Amino acid sequence: MKLTSKFILINISIVITAIAITTFFTFASIHKEINRQATVSQESILKIFRELLQSKGSGFHIENGKLLTGGYVINGNYELPDKIKEVFGGTATIFMGDSRISTNVLNPDGSRAIGTKLVGPAYDAVIKEGKPYRGEAMIMDVPYFTAYDPIKNIKGELIGALYVGTKKSDYFSAYTQMQTNVVIMTAVIAAAFSLIILLLVRKTLFPLIGEVSGITEKIHSHAGAMALTMDQQSCFATQLSSSVMEISSTMEEFSSTASQIAQHSHGVVDRADKTLDDTKNGAAEVENLTFKVNDISENIQTNLTEIVELGRKSKEINKVMEIINNIANQTKLIAFNAALEAASAGEAGKRFGVVAVEIRRLADSVVESTNEIEGKITEILDSVNRLVMSSEKSFQLIQEGQEYASHTVVMLIESVDGVDETASAARQISLSTQQQQIASGQVVLALKDIERGVRHSTNSIHQTNGAIEELTELSDQLRTLVDTFKIGNGNGGRKTTVNQETT
């Protein structure tokens, strides 16, 4: 065999061995990084899944054969597992004991796998030992990257488990495709070099060197394309990390603002409650005032009745005084007649005349007194009439005030209802702002987890890019090695060997 053939065969063996060793370690590194990223990703998704459950209520417990968190019933409720699938694209399940009660895992017939049991290493770790489990597991005979956490009640008793997982094929699809391509290229190279060896044995080595060179160029081209793609992915991951950091900063500011709004709304609730109490007190005072006005109105009505009765009795006194005046006038007339009789009687009637004069004078005094009494009674009647008119006017004013007070009471009662509704609305706003503050805090935590995941992904892309660069360097070395075995001789590009020594 020629020395050139031996040299070429040795170099072919070295190149194929180097490619195989580099490819093996590159794929081992990529495989290890994919496993690590899958573990980190499942950990973050499981954390978000638990936070979503905690946002529905605190404290897991079993009631009437159903699993609840707070007042949120989990059995047959697929809201949160479907939310996980919508956001992250994986599977999620909530177990009560070792049975699935809420899941987006499907049976072969397409129905949800409700009632199916947890089996395998995850069952031993979570159900038997009450410990978390991270690793691979078979879900419906399909391999998954999984994460399980036990669910315990407030007594620390194990009552169920949380699960999230993603198919291994979803993570390794690109890896498998790249592995297949590299294996195919390696096989093509091996086949090409084997063909070269065969042609060398048949003394047709030189035409095949050009083909080997073309294959080497293709390898170099594919490696360059892969490097460019990985660079683009690295740039995209960097931009994504920057965007997530900006969003996280914005959400932190939003959380701070929500906290301030919650504090202010709490003050508004306190002010609304105080206004409600003041309005109720005001309504009670006005209602008491209405009762007092009613009492005054009744008293005035009673007084008015008594005043009218007083006027009536005063008029009756006038009648009595008229009778007395009549009697006095008759007495005067009798006294006058008696005086006449006494004068006609002479000395014997003198004393009787004195008595008659005194009786007449007394009758005159009675008439004068009755006249004075009539004048006073007339004044009393005038005063009574004025008092009656004034009392009637006061009664009318008091009735108007009573009506106004009644209207005021009605308005205050309506105001109390309105203030009560306002206080209830303020309390609802305060509760909503507190929930918004909690939700924004959870979003900030989730964004930070996403940021860490993107950072890990970026590092993995850089490592993969480094492996591809090494593959490119090996391709350059292979191309250089091939070029050392061909030279142009000017005859239509025909190749000749550098060394034609024979053994």
Write out pLDDT tens, residues 307-345.
Answer: 888 877 877 887 787 788 888 888 878 887 887 777 787
Q: How far apart are CA 388 and CA 303, in angstroms?
A: 9
Q: Which of 444, 463, 184, 405 is nearest to 283 (CA)?
A: 405
- In a domain? residue 386: yes
pLDDT at 419 over 90: no
- In a domain? residue 102: no
Q: Which of 304, 311, 309 is nearest to 393 (CA)?
A: 304
pTM of this structure:
0.37
pLDDT at 121: 93
- In a domain? residue 302: yes
pLDDT at 366 over 60: yes
Q: In b/e form, how buried is each residue of 79-108, taking b as 16+ CB within 10 angstroms?
A: ebbeebbeebebbbbbbbebebbbbbbeee
Minimum mean pLDDT among 8-12, 113-117, 329-333, 447-451: which range?
8-12
pLDDT at 31: 74
pLDDT at 131: 94
Average pLDDT of the chain?
Answer: 79
Torsional sign, CA 194, 195, 198, 203 = negative
- In a domain? residue 174: no
Which residue segment(s) compose the domain that 424 sits in? 265-432
pLDDT at 480: 74
pLDDT at 485: 56
Higher pLDDT, 424 or 107: 107
pLDDT at 162: 96
pLDDT at 497: 40
- Across 30-34, 108-112, 381-385, 453-457, which has the greatest mean pLDDT? 108-112
Q: Which of 48, 440, 52, 432 is nearest to 256 (CA)?
A: 440
- In a domain? residue 384: yes
- Would you say 304 and 392 are in contact if contact means Cβ atoms under 8 Å apart? yes
Average pLDDT of span 195-221: 65
pLDDT at 495: 42
In this prediction, residue 489 has a pLDDT band, given cuts at 50, 70 and 90, of: very low
In this prediction, residue 502 has a pLDDT band, given cuts at 50, 70 and 90, of: very low
- Across 87-91, 237-241, 253-257, which has the greatest mean pLDDT? 87-91
The DSSP bridge partners found for residue 158 are 152
- In a domain? residue 380: yes
pLDDT at 204 over 60: no
- In a domain? residue 225: no
Pairing of strands 495-496, 158-167: unpaired
pLDDT at 347: 78
pLDDT at 152: 93
> What is the total count of domains within the chain?
1
In this prediction, residue 501 has a pLDDT band, given cuts at 50, 70 and 90, of: very low
pLDDT at 461: 75
pLDDT at 267 over 90: no
* In the block, residue with structure tokens 């005030």: 401
Classify 258 as helix, strand or coil. Answer: helix
- Would you say 360 and 332 are in contact if contact means Cβ atoms under 8 Å apart? yes
In this prediction, residue 500 has a pLDDT band, given cuts at 50, 70 and 90, of: very low
Angle at 14 between CA 8 and CA 16, to 5 degrees: 100
pLDDT at 4: 55
DSSP code per residue over 373-423: HHHHHHHHHHHHHHHHHHHHHHHHHHHHHHHHHHHHHHHHHHHHHHHHHHH
In this prediction, residue 50 has a pLDDT band, given cuts at 50, 70 and 90, of: very high
pLDDT at 187 over 80: no
- In a domain? residue 379: yes
Angle at 457 between CA 453 and CA 463, to 5 degrees: 150
Run of H or E residues at 96 = strand 91-96
CATH of the domain at 313: 1.10.287.950
In this prediction, residue 493 has a pLDDT band, given cuts at 50, 70 and 90, of: very low
pLDDT at 491: 44
